[in-house]
Structure 1
């Protein structure tokens, strides 16, 4: 972000400049989301001079979206973008205010997306022998993401999978100003079996499509929806389901939240510029992955433990 901003430009001019900078950083998806937020904000408030940004403006924007029937998740996303831009203006001294414009406005969160599978549903996918390119691709991408701790599609397509130990920083956090996080995890044998079907000579996945990333993402989710129907799975099945399911199984098995966060690549904002116990976390992550995968292969081994742990948690509550 540029350190100096002319104070005479309007808020929308500033925001559009930031979108251009975000796009130049390679964050195309975030740039497009901000463009949509600018469109919504313009419909609600029009253009405003930067000094006019205050608590009343922010609260009016929120109420306008509520009145228009926007879902909580959508409202939360738009307000988060707005707050980020306002914070940038305050940080650079362009917006001078004694009271932060968001001080009285609570940003709503999206309703939880129920897309984690039960162990029975997971095993349906794990053990399914399906025919056809779509069903196989849907099955393989779900399982591969799961075996790699719920890695998202963009990261999966950008990492070298010819190695035994995968070490990468999530694309989502590369440009983050705080909480950057490198994940180092082993590539389990179950993952290697799937990777071998799609890996190219350079070590990257080649799914055989020349789609844009956005279209490929939609296509894979379509494949997963068809797999869900084919196998009679009731729960929502999408690429994100692998991440949610891994986290859910790990939690049920008693794996500490900090280790689960490391496996998922959640930013560690409380650790400062680096994790103090990186090697310890890597070893814990390896144990966690082995345990989760063993659970999916032999759930009966863990039934008594999971039930006992659930009873203990119930008594604590």
Structure 2
């Protein structure tokens, strides 16, 4: 390095100093920690997003007593110092003040900051379930104690720590970490090219997202209980009757989820063809499935026929959340009437799976495929062309067995 460059770097490092200070005491008795960068007569405060209690600050030294927070702040200070040193090389011949320094570094980082990317991606994507992604980001930022994170800092160790943080919420473990993986892979597609690799490592090669655990309390109905639901006679046009009808539809359509019943648009030649909303954005086959409609449920298909959608549920409710909420409220009425406590819509799917396996003795692989799950034979799936006739034939056999008296 030329001597002039070395001098310029030394000058910048000497002039740019970084100190720690605390913001005003908030209503929740915490103070935000700031890094103050001074260069010459200029200065700039950086919000670290870290908050400390008054009791965590030494009254004598004004240093943070909590080891983990103190270490976190020191690591951030050293990180900024290293970036300023690097900027010292790149800014030769340019007059630099504190604002210039922070702006230049922030401009570089916004391209590789996980949260910045995630917010931008959510603002432009058409993916369903944005609300879940936003909840995940809020939970993740609370866990970190800040709302900025370089992709290089999103490591296997950090993912395991976040997983442990969610240990009391197994559903969130599977959902949130799956969404983190999806966002990370989307970022790799955007930032990495054949010529340039911005995100250099993928922690999800080593880290495995926890599998979804069945929601506590959700169980399959027995055949006798299912028939009680089927024979329930609610008041015409009531919420409980809608809930009963939709429960039977779901069971007979191979456990079709309420969100897909609400949004499905393709019903031709006796088949409902759709992409499962829950998993279509994270599967190569976009979770596509074709379900053959059994004549047994055609009266219900006609009763709830829609114009632009397969069913008219979207004309009854503004959104899927409202539809699903009302189904479960209605099913509580159904359950109370027939003696099934805490009956809920997702049990239709569990019941379909359980009776398919235990009553009909269908293979687990066929049941998985009917549920539109990713099977255990992913390599074989590459070579085997999709043929939905097997699972549809099985479903017809199940309906014939379960509703044999009604079909007689």
TM-score range relative to shorter protein: 0.7 to 0.9
Tell me, in whole angstroms, the C-alpha distance in 1 between the residues paired with 2:117 and 2:301.
44
Tell me, in whole angstroms, the C-alpha distance in 2 between the residues paired with 1:256 and 1:105.
26
Partner deviation per Cα, 1:176-213 (whole Å, 9 max, x = no partner): 45243432232112210111212145673224624222
**Which ranges in structure 1 are unaligned for 5 or more consecutive residues?**
1-5, 300-317
Match of 2:142 among 43, 54, 74: 43
Instruction: State the secondary structure of the residue aligned to 1:184.
Output: strand
Aligned-pair Cα RMSD in Å: 3.0
Matched, 1:278 2:386: yes
Question: Structure 2 matches for 1:130-149, cutoff 5 A?
Answer: 130-132=234-236, 133-149=238-254
Instruction: State the secondary structure of the residue aligned to 2:274.
Output: strand
1:240 — aligned with what? 346
Matched, 1:259 2:366: yes
Match of 1:289 among 383, 395, 399: 395
1:128 — aligned with what? 232
2:94 — aligned with what? none
Alpha carbons 1:180, 1:267 under 8 Å: kept: no
Partner deviation per Cα, 1:137-180 (whole Å, 9 max, x = no partner): 11100001111111112322323446423333323444345243
Instruction: State the Cα distance separating 1:73 from its structure 2 match.
Output: 1.8
Partner deviation per Cα, 1:58-117 (whole Å, 9 max, x = no partner): 333334444xxx4222233222222333344456333223x8378467736434543311
Instruction: State the secondary structure of the residue aligned to 2:310.
Output: coil
Tell me, in whole angstroms, the C-alpha distance in 1 between the residues paired with 2:160 and 2:356.
39
Q: Which has the higher contact order (CA 8 A, sep 6+)?
A: 1
For normalisation by structure 1, the TM-score amounts to 0.77
Match of 1:75 among 173, 192, 213: 173
Match of 1:150 among 239, 255, 258: 255
**Which ranges in structure 2 are unaligned for 5 or more consecutive residues?**
1-106
Tell me, in whole angstroms, the C-alpha distance in 1 between the residues paired with 2:166 and 2:278.
27
List, as ranges, runs of 4+ consecutive aligned residues in structure 1 with deviation greater than 6 Å: 272-275
- Please state which structure has a larger fraction of its residues in helix: 1
Alpha-carbon distance change, 165 to 42 in structure 1, aligned in 2, over 3 angstroms: closer
Alpha-carbon distance change, 77 to 186 in structure 1, aligned in 2, over 3 angstroms: closer
How many residue pairs are counted as aligned between the two chains?
A: 283
Instruction: State the secondary structure of the residue aligned to 2:299.
Output: helix
Partner deviation per Cα, 1:259-293 (whole Å, 9 max, x = no partner): 223322224572688672434x41x2232112211
Tell me, in whole angstroms, the C-alpha distance in 1 between the residues paired with 2:226 and 2:299.
18
Instruction: State the Cα distance separating 1:41 from its structure 2 match.
Output: 1.2
Alpha-carbon distance change, 150 to 89 in structure 1, aligned in 2, over 3 angstroms: same
Instruction: State the secondary structure of the residue aligned to 2:272.
Output: strand
Highest CA radius of gyration, 1 or 2? 2
Partner deviation per Cα, 1:108-133 (whole Å, 9 max, x = no partner): 64345433110010010112222251
- Please state which structure has a larger fraction of its residues in strand: 2
For normalisation by structure 2, the TM-score amounts to 0.61
